[in-house]
Structures are given as C-alpha cells and as structure tokens.
C-alpha cells in the first residue's frame, strides 16, 4: 500500500520504482492513494491511468478527489477507484471495491477534516456486514487525527485484514499486527518531493502561515523524491495479517 501520490513527481517516482519492487517482493496486489496525483490536488482520468500503467491495481482517495470534476464519470464506472464511503448518498463513485476475494474499503475521518460526513466507524460496520463472505478486507482511513486512526485500528481488529491511515503525508513508524490479527499503521506517508511541505512548494505555504491570506500552491515537481509505503502479508485462508513492514525508498 502506497501513500498519497503527489503530483507529476509522485507519479514519475511510482512509475520508476514500483515495477521492480513488485518483482523483487513478489507482490500480488498494489493499492495507492491517488487523491493528490493531479497537480497535488485531485485525480483525473489521465493521472489515474498513469498509476494503473505503472502497476497500481486499486486507487483509494480522500477529500481532494473532488477537485477535478472530469473524474466523476470514472468514479461511477467499473474502474478500480474508490472514494470515502461515508460521503452522502448520491455522491459519485463507491466506497468499496471488491474483486477476486479481496475488498478495499475507503473511509474518511471527521476530526479536523471540515466535512459533514457519516460516522466512519458505523459505516465500517455496515460495510463489513455486507462483506461477511470476504476474508481479505483492507481499509484506507483518510484522516487527520492520529487518535481517530488508532481507534479505528482497534475497532476493526480481527474484522479487517489491514487498517492503514492516509492524508497527513508523514510516514509513521508504528507498523504492527494488532492482537486479533489486523495489520495497522497510522499513516503511510506520501510519494513526492523530499524538499517540500508535504509534497508542496514551501514558499507559498510559508506565506499563508505568516499572513493568513489565501493563496495557491502546487507540488514540487523536481529534485529528490520519497516513496513511502508498507508491505502487508495476509493469510488468504483466515484473512489475518501475518506481518506488516515499512517499505520506503528515496531517489535523487
């Protein structure tokens, strides 16, 4: 599972590293969060296809997936892209993708996220009830608060194969298999520029902090890049995780 892919540099880094990583580690399934893949905010049909061509099997997302309306018809198609399940009814797309015995559930946290959403915990309950015959269930919780992510990990322990956090772009070192067999990490991190603020140009970000005035900023598209991810091994018979480890790279 690959952290939030940020802009052109993030996509280029995935394209350059992922095929070899898949071969080296004999990886069966690759999931990447793509909500920042297009210019640092949003996803387009073209940037989604670029990630698929690089070896990503399923794209998860979050609050920025709505930035480019051209992705809406794709969300409503059979494409393996999911948006947070707990958005209101009638929102484009779906929050669960299931194929070949594997289900991916995308949820969004409510703490500090500024969106009026259904409870992600109760949405998870409903989703898992409908997936009772599926043994491998992977949850991407796109959330700001570490406490909310940790709580979800324990809430779904033994019911999901893995619960991973996205959104903050900062990788955490708390990879572990929880007591009942669920792999967990608070945040995957990102794929983007090392010398940046969460993949974005630091000058306009700093200006906003100093002046509190609205401005626009985009991703850093050159220089060294970080590729942050985790590798999870799941027992297909039981759906329990055997292991989770950080799989991080940096490239010039």
- Does this model's pTM top 0.85? My answer is yes
> What CA–CA distance (Å, rounded) separates 88 from 44?
22
Residue 2 backbone phi and psi in degrees, to 5: -105, 135
User: Which residues in the chain land under pLDDT 70?
Assistant: none
By CB neighbour count within 10 A (0-12 exposed, 13-18 middle, 19+ buried), where does 85 fall?
buried
Digit-coded pLDDT (tens) for 30-81: 999 999 999 999 999 999 999 999 999 999 999 999 999 999 999 999 999 9
Q: Is 64 a catalytic residue?
A: yes
pLDDT at residue number 129: 97
Q: Which domain holds residue 146?
A: 4-251
**What CATH number should be reported for the domain holding residue 93?**
3.60.21.10
What the block records as the tokens of 4 is 């939030």
Number of domain units in the chain: 1
Q: Catalytic pick from 64, 142, 167, 169?
A: 64
DSSP tag of 38: T
């Amino acid at each position: 599972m690959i952290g939030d892919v940020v802009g052109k540099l993030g996509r280029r880094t995935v394209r350059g590293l992922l095929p070899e990583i898949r071969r080296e580690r004999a990886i069966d399934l690759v999931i990447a969060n793509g909500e920042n893949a297009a210019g640092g905010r949003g996803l387009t049909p073209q940037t989604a296809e670029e990630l698929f061509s690089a070896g990503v099997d399923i794209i998860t997302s979050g609050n920025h997936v709505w930035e480019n309306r051209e992705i809406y018809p794709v969300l409503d198609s059979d494409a393996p892209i999911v948006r947070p399940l707990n958005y209101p009814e009638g929102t484009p797309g779906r929050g669960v993708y299931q194929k070949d015995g594997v289900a991916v559930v995308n949820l969004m946290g409510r703490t500090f996220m500024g969106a009026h959403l259904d409870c992600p915990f109760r949405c998870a309950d409903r989703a898992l009830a409908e997936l009772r015959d599926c043994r491998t269930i992977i949850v991407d919780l796109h959330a700001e608060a570490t406490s909310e992510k940790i709580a979800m990990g324990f809430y779904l322990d033994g019911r999901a194969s893995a619960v991973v956090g996205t959104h903050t772009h900062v990788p955490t070192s708390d990879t572990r298999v929880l007591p009942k067999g669920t792999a967990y990490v608070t945040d995957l991190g990102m794929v983007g520029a090392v010398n940046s603020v969460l993949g974005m140009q630091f000058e306009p970000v700093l200006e906003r902090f100093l002046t509190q005035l609205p401005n626009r900023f985009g991703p850093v598209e050159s220089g060294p890049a970080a590729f942050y991810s985790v590798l999870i091994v799941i027992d297909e018979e039981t759906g329990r995780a055997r292991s989770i480890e950080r799989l991080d790279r940096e490239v010039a």
